[in-house]
Amino acid sequence: MQTDQSDIGDSLIDQSVEGDNVRKQAPLWSRLLRSPSVIIGGLLLVFIVSLVPSAKLLTSLDPTEINPRNRNKPPGAEMVMKNDSGERYTLTSRMGTDKLGRDVFTRVVYGARVSLIVGLSVAIISVAVGLFIGLIAGYFRLADAVIMRVMDGLMAIPAILLAIALVSLSGASLFTVIVAIVIPEIPRVVRLVRSIVLSIREEPYVEAAISVGTPTAKILYRHVLPNTIAPLIVHGTFICGSAILLEAILSFLGVGVPPEIPTWGNIMAQGRDLFQIHPHNIFYPGIFLTLTVLAINMLGDGLRDTIDPRVSREF
Amino acid sequence: MATETQGPELSEPILTVENLTLALPKNADRRFAVNDVTFTVLPGEVVCLVGESGSGKSVIAFAIMGLLAKALTVESGTINLSGENLLQCDEKRLRTLRCTRMGMIFQEPMTALNPVMTCGEQIDEVLLEHTELGAGERTKKVLSMIAEVSLPEPERMYRSYPHQLSGGQRQRIMIAMALILEPDLLIADEPTTALDVTTQAQILHLIKELQSVRNTGVLFITHDFGVVAELADKVAVLKQGELVEMDKTNRVLSDPQHPYTRMLITSVPKHEPPVKEPIASDAPVILKTEGMNKRYVSRTFTFGKTEVAAASDISIEIRKGETLGIVGESGSGKSTVARCITRLIDVSKGKILLTGTDIAQAPQRDLHSMRRKVQIIFQDPYRSLNPRRTVGQSIVEGPMNYGKSRQEALKDAKELMNLVQLSPDVLDRYPHQFSGGQRQRICIARALAMEPDLLVADEAVSALDVSVQKQVLELLAQVRDRMQLAMLFITHDLRVAAQVCDTVAVMSEGVVVELASAKELFSNPKHEYTKALFKAAPGRDFKFAEFTT
Amino acid sequence: MWPYLIRRILAVIPVLLVVSIIVFLMLRLTPGDPASNIAGDAATTEDIAKLRVQLGLEEPLPVQFAIYIKNLLRGDFGESFYYKRSVISMIGDSVEPTLSLALFTIVIACVIAVPFGTLAAFKQGSWLDRIVMGFSVVGFSVPVFVIGYVLIYIFSVKLDWFPVQGYQNLSEGIAGWAYRLILPSLALSVIFIALIARMTRTSVLEVLNEDYIRTAKAKGLSQTRVLLKHALRNAAVPIVTVIGIAIAILMSGVVVTESVFVIPGLGSLTLDAIQGRDYPTVQALIILFSVVYVMINLFIDLLYTLLDPRIRY
């Protein structure tokens, strides 16, 4: 038997870089934990996610309760509240109040819930649907031609326009917002999956599987599907981030989630007209929105660098 | 040829590498890429650095040029170019020396040239950087250099982009670029490895010619002892970063001192087929193709369709226990034939009779029963196994597709591992834990698990080092004889074909130009193309492994 | 070249056909009756029925589709339900602000992003590289309207250097026009700087690993020459691609930016039309944006042939 040299030495010595070969490397978790993007992004995200279950602990107020007495208070001002038995007491408003007297801090904390629900569900749904369509397009020529034309058409319509049109035509609700954001995301997932399938099906190991009589469905499941997982996790993370952004934009433009539901976009939309005097209505939710998307994007970048360097960031 | 050129001995060496040691990064499998290597190159001398992959031969070349990868560091030693220690030079000085005193050509002439600049511009750049010549003079000099490397129509070549030229032409452009300022030293890093054998012969000839006219010292890096025999005055053998032997070419080839050198040279397949028992004429025919055709049609709705015949009118026959070799250069259609027969691609016309049944036009669903009779081994051992599945899973996949239980299939897989000389205990490992040769053995085991009648080996040993190649070839011959397989052996390497094949078909431009028994073909080639192919094979006149002691 | 050109132009047709089908179906199959929306809350059932006939909604779907396609092919986008004006002329009035904003944005983005991306790649791992990469992650994450409001708050409200909102036509003077475009296009360009800088860096890094860069070094060329003549020239195709993508998705950002800065462009027109369920206008705008997207892609594909001699068709 020939001498067995490790591949690391081989490739360095030949000054050639081997492509996709799996190298001997540290386990995935330890590599992930060595990436600063993953750590910073992850911690930031844990903080934001923790707002959801702890909302009731952080604030005793109702995010939708209108209180004319407390309109347009600046951050740090005292709010006059009435408890159930009608007694008055004062509370400090950490982020001020909006023009209807609702506490911005309370609304921001509750707003995290909607943003995260939208981000997560859009990511999961569009990856699942895109994976299914992409596998079919990549493996069956006939379907490919039709599917890709439809995808090209969907891609040609600007995502925001498509989403705005879908929401305003079918009525604003959390569900329609999610669907409206999913639809423009799908073509991008389909393209990614399809390109992976097209390159994997040329691999000799797939041809070897064909020649040992493995049926097509099993080839897809065994040899092709596993190759899509890493890129899809990365891409799904980015989708999650951009879905949260898009939801905020839709709400901000007044065509998103119904205005009575506290979302970061809605809070900002309601602060627009008084922005010059009371900028806190826009800045606080804006900061949280930015931090959330930043956390997710950093996590995505770190994941990509660690588990799948091939995926590039595209829209 | 490696002749007794006198004279160079007397002059001062242009290149002296002394005790060169290059360190690998910490996580590598060994400490040094190159360990304590010493050699010299005299003016007008060709020195070959030979070694298998991982021997560190290319690293030395890059160290001389000052283009070492960042991961590698110089531990100790000196590199003297006409008395100047290159390891002490700063980047600016090195830049001045490159192309003026030392030039380099690379393995892949396609990727080594800038795709968006014309060839002329790229040569012109050298003059622009290193000389004070005006534009007109430069163009004149570039054109005359292009002519000197025997390229036709220098003006057209000047204006051409790299992709418009053939591999051999591109390598000539590289040579023109490296030699235009008449450097003292030319470093050639496997410059013919990516080329077809006939092109290789021409390029070797050109290098030899230019080198002797200009009295250039050449450091030629190769893995091919044929090339060494053809070209080198002196040869240095590297093993895992250490120089094990260095002497005049004739001496090393005919009387190697170091066991490693000896082993390498014995591994070079001989050009003459071994004496073998002929296949019985009543042995059953396993595969027979009649007028098999493969055409690629590309349609454009504006300008009709264009057709390319990848393989035309292929009629071959393989009996039980017989090996048919298909030999040809790249683009000859030899792999197309292999892929048609395994029905990985569809056949345009003709018949493929597999144990009497025509499978040429069988629809996909009818191929299931045929698939187990024909198995294929591919060229690239790194891509032939799914990196995410254990070796065992890969081997049992086929038998389980045909109804074997997992236990049964695994039991058989263990036996097969013994057969391919690997430990049965490693079935639960992943492909990346194996070397290239071991992976190729696993691929053979996977193919054999199907108990096929016909085994197709598509350049199955081409990516392997010569010593590993020899072992895999022996293994293939062994399993063929033991299991009485019919084998279709696709290769570009005449020597390999000579060793394993009973019958050889020579292909060129999609057509079989000559089909004869190996013995007859190698002793008495008839077709002009076959003759040209033989003539081009490097080191053909040298009798390898006939040592004097 | 010519066969390719023709093929490429013809390939635009199916995409536009798919877009028009999507738009057609979207406006007709989503819940909610256009007629009752247009007629308003006070309308009687009869009014609505009359309107349905008038709008052709009583016809079977295929017939509606045929009429729709026929009108599209004639370039007839109909009349706005709201303003009772031809949709085309309304679009014509709104093109200038949008075009100006887009142009400013993309110029700012390219001028900043390409040099910084290239430098970051060349000095990989340096502090400059870290800053560029850091900016690009943050730039992706800050929504354009947040940047817009921050800029307005600092430069208009606090420092009073720029007007808070609004647009001035080019015909009223180039200085005023440019002055009012600075803040909105800065806000909008952030994400494109991030995108283009990152892509430039990646492509240049990739090219720097190519064999021909090693050849160029082996020829003894200077670093600047290797970088400009060999690396950047080869990285041009992916960079141009990403600039194309940027221009194409610019449309989405324009809608938001116009809303924040109260610019009377196509974005504002779209928003008003969608909220007012002004179907002919919505239809025309979506198709217009898609045509722009498709044309930009076509233009980029053609540009490839100039940038890379290997691309022969």
Find the CATH number of the domain harbouring A282: 1.10.3720.10
Percentage, residues of chain B above pLDDT 90: 62
Chain A residues whose beta carbon lies within 8 Å of the beta carbon of residue B450: 212-213
Question: Pick from B528, B545, B483, B48: which is nearest to B272 by CA?
Answer: B545
**Which of A2, A7, A20 is opposite residue B471, by nearest beta carbon?**
A2
> Residue A149, exposed/middle/buried by CB under 10 A (0-12, 13-18, 19+)?
middle
The pLDDT confidence band at residue C31, using thresholds 50, 70 and 90, is: low
* pLDDT, average across residues A150-159: 89
**Which of C143, C164, C199 is opposite residue A249, by nearest beta carbon?**
C143
Rg (CA), chain A: 25
Cα C32 → chain centroid: 29
**Which of B98, B116, B301 is opposite residue C309, by nearest beta carbon?**
B116
Could you report the per-residue pLDDT of C85-94, keeping only the tens digit for each?
A: 888 888 888 8
pLDDT computed for residue C212 by the predictor: 92
- Outline where DSSP puts E strands in B150-269: 185-189, 217-222, 234-239, 242-248
In a domain, B345, yes or no: yes
DSSP state, residue C142: S
Which residue did the predictor score with more confidence, B124 or C69? Answer: B124
Chain B residues whose beta carbon lies within 8 Å of the beta carbon of residue C233: 114, 116-117
Chain C residues whose beta carbon lies within 8 Å of the beta carbon of residue B69: none
B328 & B445 share domain = yes
Could you report the per-residue pLDDT of B454-464, keeping only the tens digit for each?
A: 999 999 998 88
Residue A190 touches partner C, C-beta closer than 8 Å: no
Does the structure show a pLDDT above 80 at B387?
Answer: yes
Residue A271: closest C-alpha in chain C: C149
Number of domains in chain B: 3
Sole residue written with tokens 């910073």: A40
pLDDT computed for residue A304 by the predictor: 84
Find the CATH number of the domain harbouring B367: 3.40.50.300
Give SS3 for C276: coil
Percentage, residues of chain B above pLDDT 70: 96
B453 & B493 share domain = yes
Which residue did the predictor score with more confidence, B336 or A84? Answer: B336
Which residue did the predictor score with more confidence, A271 or A113? Answer: A113
Question: Pick from A305, A220, A10, A35: which is nearest to B432 by CA?
Answer: A10
B211 & B330 share domain = no
Residue A204: closest C-alpha in chain B: B384
Single out the residue in B155, B182, B209 at which a domain terminates: B182
Name which of A167-171, C213-217, C293-297 the model is least confident about. A167-171
The pLDDT confidence band at residue C5, using thresholds 50, 70 and 90, is: confident
**Which of C3, C215, C230 is opposite residue B300, by nearest beta carbon?**
C3
Chains that touch B (3 or more CB pairs under 8 A): A, C
Does the structure show a pLDDT above 50 at C39?
Answer: yes
Provide the mean pLDDT of chain B: 89
pLDDT computed for residue A14 by the predictor: 37
- Most B CBs within 10 A among A20, A21, A212, hence the mutation to make, goes to A212
Indicate yes or no: CB of A10 within 8 angstroms of CB of B53. Answer: yes
Sole residue written with tokens 């009648």: B453
Chain A residues whose beta carbon lies within 8 Å of the beta carbon of residue B431: 22
**Which of B28, B71, B378 is opposite residue A204, by nearest beta carbon?**
B378
Question: Pick from C30, C3, C4: which is nearest to C279 by CA?
Answer: C30
Q: Which residues pair with B50 in a beta bridge?
A: B222, B237
B198 & B173 share domain = no
Indicate yes or no: CB of B371 within 8 angstroms of CB of A212. Answer: yes
B178 & B188 share domain = no
Does the structure show a pLDDT above 50 at A113?
Answer: yes
Could you report the per-residue pLDDT of A85-112, keeping only the tens digit for each?
A: 777 777 776 777 777 767 778 788 888 8
Does the structure show a pLDDT above 60 at B112?
Answer: yes
B131 & B85 share domain = no
Question: Pick from B287, B294, B361: which is nearest to B319 by CA?
Answer: B287
pLDDT computed for residue C114 by the predictor: 92
Cβ neighbours of residue B12 closer than 8 Å, sequence gap 6 or more:
B42, B43, B82
**Which of C18, C245, C255 is opposite residue A153, by nearest beta carbon?**
C18
Indicate yes or no: CB of B384 within 8 angstroms of CB of A205. Answer: yes
Name which of A52-56, B163-167, B357-361, B494-498 the model is least confident about. A52-56
pLDDT computed for residue B29 by the predictor: 74
Does the structure show a pLDDT above 60 at A11?
Answer: no
Chain A residues whose beta carbon lies within 8 Å of the beta carbon of residue B437: 2
Domain extent at residue B409: 285-536
* pLDDT, average across residues B362-373: 86
Could you report the per-residue pLDDT of B198-209, keeping only the tens digit for each?
A: 899 999 999 999
**Which of C7, C212, C219 is opposite residue B126, by nearest beta carbon?**
C219
The pair of three-digit structure tokens given for residue C194, joined into one six-digit string: 């991030």
In a domain, B547, yes or no: no
Chain C residues whose beta carbon lies within 8 Å of the beta carbon of residue A157: 19, 22-23, 286, 289-290, 293
In a domain, B277, yes or no: no
pLDDT computed for residue A22 by the predictor: 36
- Most C CBs within 10 A among A40, A115, A152, A181, hence the mutation to make, goes to A152
* Gap from C88 CA to chain B (nearest CA, Å): 34
Distance CA B309, CA B333 (A): 9
Could you report the per-residue pLDDT of B295-352, keeping only the tens digit for each?
A: 888 765 555 667 888 899 999 999 999 999 999 988 899 999 999 999 998 899 999 9
- Most B CBs within 10 A among A14, A211, A222, A223, hence the mutation to make, goes to A211
Residue A303 touches partner C, C-beta closer than 8 Å: no
- Outline where DSSP puts E strands in B166-302: 185-189, 217-222, 234-239, 242-248, 285-299
B218 & B339 share domain = no
**Which of C18, C27, C31 is opposite residue A150, by nearest beta carbon?**
C18
pLDDT computed for residue C1 by the predictor: 61
**Which of B115, B130, B301 is opposite residue C220, by nearest beta carbon?**
B130
The pLDDT confidence band at residue C32, using thresholds 50, 70 and 90, is: low
* Gap from B306 CA to chain C (nearest CA, Å): 13
Distance CA B96, CA A314 (A): 42
Indicate yes or no: CB of C234 within 8 angstroms of CB of B115. Answer: yes
Could you report the per-residue pLDDT of C189-231, keeping only the tens digit for each?
A: 999 999 999 989 989 998 998 899 999 999 999 888 898 889 9
In a domain, A134, yes or no: yes
B486 & B505 share domain = yes
pLDDT computed for residue B50 by the predictor: 93
Residue B96 touches partner C, C-beta closer than 8 Å: yes
CB contacts < 8 A (B, C): 81
For chain A, the residues whose C-beta falls within 8 A of a C-beta of chain B are: 1-10, 12-15, 18, 20-24, 203-205, 207-215, 218, 222-223, 226-227
In a domain, A81, yes or no: no
* Gap from C192 CA to chain B (nearest CA, Å): 27
Which residue did the predictor score with more confidence, A25 or A163? Answer: A163
**Which of B106, B174, B303 is opposite residue C3, by nearest beta carbon?**
B303
Does the structure show a pLDDT above 90 at B515?
Answer: yes
Distance CA C51, CA B117 (A): 65
Distance CA C54, CA C61 (A): 15
Indicate yes or no: CB of B174 within 8 angstroms of CB of C215. Answer: yes
B485 & B359 share domain = yes
Cα B380 → chain centroid: 12
Could you report the per-residue pLDDT of B57-94, keeping only the tens digit for each?
A: 989 999 999 988 888 889 999 999 988 899 999 989 99
Could you report the per-residue pLDDT of C59-84, keeping only the tens digit for each?
A: 788 888 888 888 888 878 877 777 77
SS in 3 state form for C187-242?
Answer: HHHHHHHHHHHHHHHHHHHHHHCCHHHHHHHHCCCCHHHHHHHHHHHHHHHHHHHH
Question: Which domains, and CATH codes, for chain C?
Answer: 20-73 (no CATH), 98-307 (1.10.3720.10)
In a domain, A240, yes or no: yes
B351 & B413 share domain = yes
CA quadruple B351, B354, B357, B359: dihedral, nearest 10 = -50
Rg (CA), chain C: 24
B243 & B338 share domain = no
Does the structure show a pLDDT above 70 at B258?
Answer: yes
Single out the residue in B130, B151, B182 at which a domain terminates: B182
pLDDT computed for residue C312 by the predictor: 61
In a domain, B416, yes or no: yes
The pair of three-digit structure tokens given for residue C67, joined into one six-digit string: 């009429």
In a domain, B505, yes or no: yes
Distance CA A180, CA A162 (A): 7
In a domain, A237, yes or no: yes
Indicate yes or no: CB of A249 within 8 angstroms of CB of C149. Answer: no
Domain extent at residue A306: 41-60+105-311
Chain B residues whose beta carbon lies within 8 Å of the beta carbon of residue C229: 117, 125
Q: Which residues pair with B305 in a beta bridge?
A: B299
Residue A203: closest C-alpha in chain B: B383
Residue B340: closest C-alpha in chain A: A211
Do residues A266 and A281 lie in contact, with contact meaning Cβ atoms separated by under 8 Å? Answer: no
* pLDDT, average across residues B372-396: 91
Do residues A238 and C126 lie in contact, with contact meaning Cβ atoms separated by under 8 Å? Answer: no
Indicate yes or no: CB of A161 within 8 angstroms of CB of C145. Answer: no
Chain A residues whose beta carbon lies within 8 Å of the beta carbon of residue B467: 2
B328 & B365 share domain = yes
pLDDT computed for residue C8 by the predictor: 80
Indicate yes or no: CB of B98 within 8 angstroms of CB of C229. Answer: no
Chain C residues whose beta carbon lies within 8 Å of the beta carbon of residue A283: 149-150, 153
Single out the residue in B182, B216, B238 at which a domain terminates: B182
* Gap from C115 CA to chain B (nearest CA, Å): 21
The pLDDT confidence band at residue B161, using thresholds 50, 70 and 90, is: very high
Distance CA B219, CA B61 (A): 8
Residue C310: closest C-alpha in chain B: B163
Number of domains in chain A: 1
Could you report the per-residue pLDDT of C111-150, keeping only the tens digit for each?
A: 999 999 999 998 888 899 999 999 999 998 898 888 988 8
Indicate yes or no: CB of A9 within 8 angstroms of CB of B28. Answer: yes
pLDDT computed for residue A15 by the predictor: 33
CB contacts < 8 A (A, B): 126
The pLDDT confidence band at residue A16, using thresholds 50, 70 and 90, is: very low
